[in-house]
Amino acid sequence: MIPMQTTKQADKLIVSDNPVIPFIEGDGIGKEITPFVQKIIDAAVEKSFGSKRKIKWLEVLAGEKAYNEVGTWLPEETIEAFRKNIIGIKGPLTTPVGEGIRSLNVALRQELDLYVCLRPVRWFKGVATPLLHPEKVSVTIFRENTEDIYAGIEWAAGTTEAKKFLNFLQDEMGVDKIRFPESSSFGVKPVSREGTERLVRAAIEYAVKNKLPSVTLVHKGNIMKFTEGGFKKWGYDLAEREFPDQTFTEHRFNQIKAEKGLKKAVEMYNEAVDSGRVFIKDVIADAFLQNTLLKPEEYSVVATLNLNGDYISDQLAAMVGGIGIAPGANINYMTGHAIFEATHGTAPDIVGKDVANPCSMLLSGVMMLDHIGWSEAGKLITSSLEKLFDNGYGTPDLTRFMENGKPLSTYEFSKKIIENL
């Protein structure tokens, strides 16, 4: 078999039987979990397809390993490898807090314009959670990945840049609501119509394709009228303009209610739902966080901005057992580029102890297999995890909360996953 690049033609990925997939080992526990994740994926692919298909793994550098070996945190060669091969996967990367390098994860997303952070959240039977009914949680989050305050447009208090920005706000824009102007740092929150539309479009297409009942626009438009409020407005506009026969919006419901009364609005809503159309609704972010705890079954697909999405992803992950079993991917649906990733940090406190949980990165690998059309292998991995969790097996971070938990080392757990494929 000759290793080949993955390409995209029109709206379809062209994946060979021996695709080259770049990977970043990651920092901290990354060097422990990544080799096991690769072994499990390789075993599942072999069991599903025999010798017909095999991944050609290509290591590329980022983070501490890159800095130690080539003197830079994110080499251009790494970005180019992901750009060239379309699909990739990565372990957790170090991000210093407060100063130093900016987030490498954010840099990769921005360089490749990976505008969707996709986070599917589900519960595995046997995994302990704080909820009475975790089985009701099945939510896929579409988090905007390139805008909002994560764009990195900010200036530290006391700098020349901060002073210049303050002068602009006060002198040119007439802003007089900064409580302590001389000691303030400043950040800018860009939110665009184009960025909103491509995110919401992807979320609606996902809901339609998977026959899911709703897409919820989560925002803080009650406070940030033109950024978060713009996101809400542009999301509704996009749904009504591009998906008139596949969706029914809460915005339209309210229009009908105002013009023809509640009874008619309810009637048209019921007709839309009965015909399989996706209901597009919105909710304020803080209300959403409460609602997901009280009635998670009301949400299936969520579209939200970058900062809200960060909070939402972690809360929903905690609701089903923790970020250690939460997968994620960063995707550009137009170019086809996608990087699948461990969603947790580098966990320096457990490095070298052989107790790291590989499931976040592994389940991201399952997402990757589904994405390239090798879902048979992904289903084997998911089924194996379901069996093991249901019988109380897992790494210590999971089993400590299980009623009859049987803790295994990273090596033992990974081996058991392969044995149960």
Is there a domain that residue 280 lies in?
A: yes
Same domain, 4 and 100: yes
- Looking at residue 81, its amino acid is A
Is there a domain that residue 125 lies in?
A: no
pLDDT tens digits for range 11-59: 888 999 999 999 999 999 999 999 999 999 999 999 999 999 999 999 9
Using the predicted structure, report yes or no on whether residue 281 has a pLDDT greater than 80: yes
Is there a domain that residue 301 lies in?
A: yes
CA distance 176 to 185: 16
Measured CA distances, 40 to 44, 123, 277, 350 (Å): 6, 21, 39, 22
Read off the pTM: 0.94
Confidence band for 248, pLDDT divided at 50, 70 and 90: very high
Question: Hey, how many other C-beta atoms are within 10 angstroms of the C-beta on 180?
Answer: 7
Question: In the annotation, is 286 catalytic?
Answer: yes
- Least confident span in 5-9, 136-140, 321-325: 5-9
Is there a domain that residue 134 lies in?
A: yes
Using the predicted structure, report yes or no on whether residue 101 has a pLDDT greater than 90: no
Domain endpoint, select from 319, 334, 368: 319
Kind and range of the H or E element at 342? strand 338-342
Q: In this predicted structure, what is the pLDDT of residue 116?
A: 97
Using the predicted structure, report yes or no on whether residue 376 has a pLDDT greater than 60: yes
Measured CA distances, 76 to 9, 60, 96 (Å): 25, 10, 20
Please give the mean pLDDT across all residues of the chain: 95
Question: In the annotation, is 47 catalytic?
Answer: no
Q: Which residues pair with 329 in a beta bridge?
A: 118, 340
Domain endpoint, select from 187, 203, 235: 187
CA distance 122 to 127: 11
Same domain, 280 and 143: yes
Is there a domain that residue 123 lies in?
A: no
Catalytic residue among 310, 314, 354, 370: 310
Same domain, 62 and 200: no
Judge contact between 246 and 234, C-beta under 8 A: no
Same domain, 112 and 203: no
Q: In this predicted structure, what is the pLDDT of residue 403?
A: 87
Question: In the annotation, is 42 catalytic?
Answer: no
Same domain, 145 and 102: no
Q: In this predicted structure, what is the pLDDT of residue 99?
A: 53
Q: What is the domain range of residue 182?
A: 154-187
Q: In this predicted structure, what is the pLDDT of residue 344?
A: 94
Same domain, 223 and 312: yes
Q: In this predicted structure, what is the pLDDT of residue 28?
A: 96
Same domain, 347 and 404: yes
Catalytic residue among 65, 90, 150, 282: 150
Q: In this predicted structure, what is the pLDDT of residue 263?
A: 96
Question: What CATH number did the domain enclosing 62 receive?
Answer: 3.40.718.10
Same domain, 96 and 200: no
Is there a domain that residue 122 lies in?
A: no
Confidence band for 152, pLDDT divided at 50, 70 and 90: confident
Catalytic residue among 65, 189, 220, 232: 220
Using the predicted structure, report yes or no on whether residue 100 has a pLDDT greater than 60: no
Same domain, 145 and 252: yes
pLDDT tens digits for range 396-420: 999 999 988 999 999 999 999 999 9
CA distance 158 to 72: 29
223 versus 3: which is more confidently predicted? 223
Question: In the annotation, is 65 catalytic?
Answer: no
Same domain, 169 and 224: no
Is there a domain that residue 124 lies in?
A: no
Q: What mean pLDDT comes out for the span 199-226?
A: 97
Domain endpoint, select from 319, 336, 355: 319
Same domain, 208 and 178: no
Instruction: Give how many domains the chain has, as a whole number.
Output: 3
Confidence band for 103, pLDDT divided at 50, 70 and 90: confident
Same domain, 45 and 113: yes
User: Exposed/middle/buried for 205, CB within 10 Å: 0-12, 13-18, 19+?
Assistant: middle
Is there a domain that residue 202 lies in?
A: yes
Q: What mean pLDDT comes out for the span 92-100?
A: 68
